[in-house]
Structure 1
Amino acid sequence: MSLYEILGTLETGFIFGIVALGAYLTFQILDFPDLTVEGSFPLGAAVAATLIVAAGWNPWLATLAGGVAGFAAGFATAMLNVRFKILHILAGILLSISLYSINLRIMSGPNKPLLMVDTVFTSFEGLGLPGYIINPIFLGIMVLVIKLLLDAFLATGWGISMRAAGANPAMAEANGVNVGNMKLYGVGAANALTAIAGALFAQIFGAADAYMGIGVIIVGLASVIVGMSILPSRTIFLATLACLFGAVLYRLAVALALNADFLGFQASDVQLVTALLVAIALIAQQTGSFRTILRKGGRK
């Protein structure tokens, strides 16, 4: 792989690191299997792209608006589960399906190009460095800030209540925690992060597309599973760091697999490669941690 390809992989890895943090919040903290992200990722992209192109919004505000839309989508999913007792997985599927149509309406079509308009990355063009270098640096700093903010939130009273609601809902309820509200705001926050990642993804690749959310849930889960298998931790700080590490490692693994000619993979096989990596990670979790496997390999 060339330096350009490696930096491009890091760029994408950092964006999906934000998705991984959202997946960590729902799957690990709240124990809420959420499939809404398949729709909230393109929702954030659609809202941001439409506001930038059609309404002339500042790209930073448009990206934030995409996150707000993602929060609303996640909140609606949790509402279906908490208030109307619809199974969480089914609630996520229902929202994801409905968001496909909503995204088409927002963009007035299947996609919205971001050509000849300012994006959040335009702000760094005057620094004298090419985009393929400055963009990964900016995204790395941004995802680190989001990680630290999430760590700080989960250390607050509200965050500890959210962790308790996911770990033991009955005990949390007995201690005065409103488990339903924790789900509403937690799933909303997770989808806000996913939508922000979608908005950034659209701006860096030049278009928002209604189909860009396909497989995002697997990417998020792969990042969490791989990262926490290699860097198992009992602390929030290291757990979220492991998620980010897993996202970057996952993207590097996909890029290496697609660039390995002897494997015979093509660019269109990215979803197949993703599924294989997740399957390997899950199998490794059942038979022993990645760290143990790596140690055994090293002794050979």
Structure 2
Amino acid sequence: MKIFNIPDITTDGSYTLGGAVTAILLSSGYSAPIILPLTMLAGATAGACTGLIHTKLKINPLLSGILVMTALYSINLSFMGRSNIPLLNFLNLYNLVSIFDDFNLNTLIVLLLFVAVLTGLIIYILSTDFGITMRATGNSETMIRSLGVSTDRMKIIGLALANALTATSGYLLAQFQGFADINMGIGIVIAGLGSVIIAETFINWFNITSVSASLLLVIIGAILFQAVLAVTLSLGVDASMLKLITAVFVLLIVSVPQLLFKKAL
């Protein structure tokens, strides 16, 4: 969304794909570390498909994502063989760390490690010539194409990387909650965009241009987004209303800064 200005709906499907691949392989006896690269490859393939449909068939990127997301629902269900795969009796990633007696603390360490490593990798990639070219593709596609850069290739690679990360999220969640479900990815794109929009609000307020600072704010935005939902549930709101609350919250995040800006003018 931030680099290419494409709200990639493939996310809903690749998130579930990550959980499905994890559940299938974990229940087949494969260890969690071995499953991770395979999960990322599956997500990258889904993202690349969206990129190919958009760039080679000249279809709107939003529609391209919807098409792949729709196809992934059937693919995920076919892979899983049923709508839900339980994982409670299998050794997962979080069981490999036993620094503390409290399972939640060990889980937190694993997740913090993942966030730190992935954030470092993203900062490095976006700071290289390749990353700068990718960012320039989103800022001015015509200009970067005039320099001889294949913008189609940049978009395909970018969407593949994004969905590889999304599948990694599905990989982590499936093991954390102890099951993979065919509907686990529904609406996840809203949560992702909400986190980015929260970060973008702070970025605009403080005129931040640093890539590392922007990524840090996205992480903070994701935490704030989930914290608001957790507080809402703790107040006794019915869990069935969670998706509605999420949509309303994202709407407020998007609209309030715009309204305040117009009022200031």
Match status 1:36 vs 2:10: yes
Q: State the one-letter code of the partner of 1:105.
A: S
Equivalent residue runs for 1:151-300 within 5 Å: 151-232=123-204, 233-261=208-236, 265-288=237-260
How much does 1:117 deviate?
A: 0.9
Q: In the alignment, what sits opposite 2:79?
A: 106
2: CA distance, partners of 1:138 / 1:120? 8
8 Å Cα contact 1:70/1:194 also seen in 2: yes
SS at match of 1:112: strand
Q: In the alignment, what sits opposite 1:82?
A: 55
Q: In the alignment, what sits opposite 1:6?
A: none
Q: In the alignment, what sits opposite 1:5?
A: none
| Structure 1 residue ranges without an equivalent (≥5) | 1-26, 293-300
Q: In the alignment, what sits opposite 1:139?
A: 111
Q: State the one-letter code of the partner of 2:67.
A: L
Among 22, 26, 30, the residue aligned to 1:48: 22
2: CA distance, partners of 1:285 / 1:144? 30
**TM-score normalized with structure 1 length:** 0.84
1: CA distance, partners of 2:171 / 2:22? 6
How much does 1:63 deviate?
A: 2.3
How much does 1:231 deviate?
A: 4.3
8 Å Cα contact 2:144/2:151 also seen in 1: yes
Q: State the one-letter code of the partner of 2:233.
A: L
Q: State the one-letter code of the partner of 1:118.
A: L
Q: State the one-letter code of the partner of 1:287.
A: L
Give deviations 1:45-89, integer Å, cap 9, x for gaps.
Answer: 1011101102x1111111221111000000000000001111111
2: CA distance, partners of 1:140 / 1:268? 29
How much does 1:91 deviate?
A: 0.7
Q: Segments of 4+ in structure 1 off by > 4 A?
A: none
SS at match of 2:30: coil
Q: In the alignment, what sits opposite 2:37?
A: 64
SS at match of 1:28: coil
Q: State the one-letter code of the partner of 2:25.
A: L
Give deviations 1:194-228, integer Å, cap 9, x for gaps.
Answer: 00000110000000111001000000000001122
Give deviations 1:8-47, integer Å, cap 9, x for gaps.
Answer: xxxxxxxxxxxxxxxxxxx111122210001000000101
8 Å Cα contact 2:100/2:106 also seen in 1: no
Give deviations 1:157-181, integer Å, cap 9, x for gaps.
Answer: 1101100111100000011211000
How much does 1:260 deviate?
A: 2.0
RMSD: 1.4
8 Å Cα contact 2:16/2:183 also seen in 1: yes
Aligned residues: 259
Among 90, 105, 130, the residue aligned to 1:117: 90
SS at match of 1:121: helix
Match status 1:91 vs 2:64: yes
**TM-score normalized with structure 2 length:** 0.94
| Structure 2 residue ranges without an equivalent (≥5) | none
1: CA distance, partners of 2:16 / 2:52? 21
Q: State the one-letter code of the partner of 1:188.
A: A
